[in-house]
Amino acid sequence: MNPAVLWLKKNWIIAVLAVVALASLPTLWYFAGKKNKALVDRVQTSVKADFDEVSKDRQNYTLPPALPSAKEFSFSAPPNKIINAYFGERLTEQQKQIASVWSNALEFNQGDHKPLIENFFPKPDEFYLRTLTGDLTIAFVVELPKRLVAIVNGGPAPDADKLAATLRENAERSLARIQTEKGRDATAEEWTKIKEELLGVRVARYKQAAQDISVYVDAASFSDIPDASKDPNKPLEQPTIRKAWDYQEIAWLYDDILKAVALANSKTGSAGGDVGGGVPQSVVKRIVSMKIGPVSLSATASADGTAPAADAPIPKDYNNSVTGRIGGVANQLFDVRPVTIDVIVSSKHLPHFIDALAETNFMTVLDVDLTNVEPLDELKLGYYYGDDHIVRAVVQVETIWLRDWTRLFMPLEVKADRGVFADPVAPPADGAQPPAPPGDKPPTSGSG
C-alpha cells in the first residue's frame, strides 16, 4: 500500500484541518475586504463631516487701510493660530505707525506756538477779564509786529519824504555855496551836476538800507493788526472772548508765514546785513500786506445734531476751495483758515517761497496772481530790490490747524461756534485701547 495513504489513514484529522484551513482563506479574504471597505467608507464619511463642520466656522481677517487712497486687505479662512498671530502683529505695527505719523503731524502743526497771554485761554479768570484790553493791546498791537518783523530781519524803506527834505537842504547849501564863492547863481550845468550828485546820494542811501535788512516789512504790512505807530497810546476796543481767540489765531498764522519767508530767503543766501545778503539776494523782497480770512464753517452736523462717527470720512466742498477742505461740525479733525499774501518777489525764485510755506506748516497754495513791477517806480518810493527780475505776487493760501492741540486753548464759546463736540483723541501707540480724553486745561509753558 502506498505510504502516503497509510499516513493519511493514521493522521486524517490533520489532513482534514489542513484542507479546511486552505479552503477558508479565500472566504476570509473576501469578507475581510468587505469589512475593510466599510471601515474606510465610515472613516472618510466622518472626516468629511468634520471638515465640513470646521469649514463652516471661518474667520474674517482684515487689515484696514492706513491711507484714504489705499484699499482694505481682507480674506476669510478657518481659525488658525499662526494667521491670528500674524494679523495681530500687523495690526499692532500699523497702529504704531499711525500713532507715530499723528504725533509728528501734531508736533509739526503746533511747532513752538504759545498763547499771546500766558494762562489766559481757554477760560480767563476775573483778573484777566478786567485787564484783557490792556494786555491784548500790548501783546497783539505793540509786541507782536516787532517780533514778526524780527523773524525775517525786516524793516521799512527809508522815509522818502524825510530823505527828500534832507536832499533839498543839501541842494540849497550847494547853491548858496556857489552864490557865496562865485557871486552868482548856479549855471544850468552846475545845477545838473548838483542834481546828479543828489540822485547818487539818494540811491546810495536806498541801497544801504536794502543791504541792512532782508525784507521790506513793517507794522502796516499786517492788515489784521491795528497800526500802533499811528497812535501807540490808543488801546484796542474791549474784545469779547471770541475776538480775543481770533487775535490769537491771527498771531499764530502771521508767525508761520513770516517763518516761511525767512526760510525761503535763506535758500538764496540772504542773511540780512551780512556781506552779499540783504534784500537784493532775497526771494521775498517786500511784504506789501497779509490778510487772514475767517475760519471755514461750511460743514454741517448729522440729522440729529450729533457729531459724526469717529471713522466717518471728512466731507469735502469744492465750492469752498480747490482742495475741498472745510471745517465745522462735520470735521472734528481740523480747522481751515485762508490767508492772502501780497508780496514782491524774485520771479525766478518764487518756487522757493511756495515750497517754504509747505515746509513750515500745513499750508497749501491755492492760487498765485502775478503782475509786473517797474523797479524805477519802486525806487522812487525808497524800495531797492537789486538786479533780479521782480513781480508782485498775490498768493492765496489755505492753512490747516489740528484740533488735537488747539482745543487745549480754545474757549468754550468758540468750540460751540465751530461744533467741537468732544476733545479728539490721538490714535493709541501700541494698539491698546485709546486713553480717556484729556481735560480742557492747557499747558502753561510760555507766552506770546
The confidence score (pLDDT) of residue 8 equals: 55
Q: What are phi and psi of 398, to 5 degrees?
A: -110, 125
HSE, side-chain direction, 13 A CA sphere, residue 197: 12
3-24 residue pLDDT tens? 665 655 666 566 555 655 555 5
Least confident of 90-104, 145-159, 283-297, 391-405: 90-104
35-64 residue pLDDT tens? 566 665 665 666 566 555 555 667 777 877
In the predicted model, what is the mean pLDDT of residues 77-105? 84
In the predicted model, what is the mean pLDDT of residues 437-445? 40
Among 318, 320, 326, 324, residue whose Cα is nearest residue 297: 326
Higher pLDDT, 287 or 304: 287
Classify burial at 14, counting beta carbons within 10 Å of its beta carbon; exposed 0-12, middle 13-18, buried 19 or more: exposed
Alpha helical stretches, state H, 79-212: 81-110, 126-136, 144-151, 160-182, 188-212
| Percent of the chain at pLDDT exceeding 70 | 65
Least confident of 76-85, 203-212, 330-339: 76-85
The DSSP 8-state label assigned to residue 364 in this structure reads E
281-292 residue pLDDT tens? 999 999 999 999
Higher pLDDT, 85 or 188: 85
Q: Cα–Cα distance between 342 and 215 in angstroms, integer? A: 13
The confidence score (pLDDT) of residue 295 equals: 87
Residue 276 has pLDDT above 70, yes or no: no
113-136 residue pLDDT tens? 999 888 788 887 666 666 777 777
Residue 301 has pLDDT above 80, yes or no: no
SS percent in the chain: helix, strand, coil, step 5:
50, 15, 35
131-188 residue pLDDT tens? 777 777 888 888 999 999 999 999 999 887 777 776 676 666 665 676 676 666 767 6
The confidence score (pLDDT) of residue 241 equals: 85
Q: Cα–Cα distance between 177 and 414 in angstroms, integer? A: 69
Which CATH number fits the domain 116-153+213-307+315-418, given the four candidates 3.20.20.190, 3.30.950.10, 3.30.70.60, 1.10.10.10?
3.30.70.60
- Distances in whole angstroms, Cα of residue 106 to Cα of each of 101, 363, 401, 421: 9, 14, 9, 20
The confidence score (pLDDT) of residue 85 equals: 84
Contact of 344 with 288, CB cutoff 8 Å: yes
Q: Cα–Cα distance between 297 and 253 in angstroms, integer? A: 18
The confidence score (pLDDT) of residue 430 equals: 42
Residue 441 has pLDDT above 60, yes or no: no
Q: Cα–Cα distance between 364 and 342 in angstroms, integer? A: 16
Among 5, 314, 310, 261, residue whose Cα is nearest residue 149: 261
203-260 residue pLDDT tens? 778 888 899 999 999 999 999 988 755 565 666 677 788 888 999 999 999 999 999 9
Measured between alpha carbons, how far apart are the two ends of the chain, in Å?
A: 137
Residue 447 has pLDDT above 60, yes or no: no
Q: Cα–Cα distance between 236 and 140 in angstroms, integer? A: 9
The confidence score (pLDDT) of residue 272 equals: 46
Residue 197 has pLDDT above 80, yes or no: no
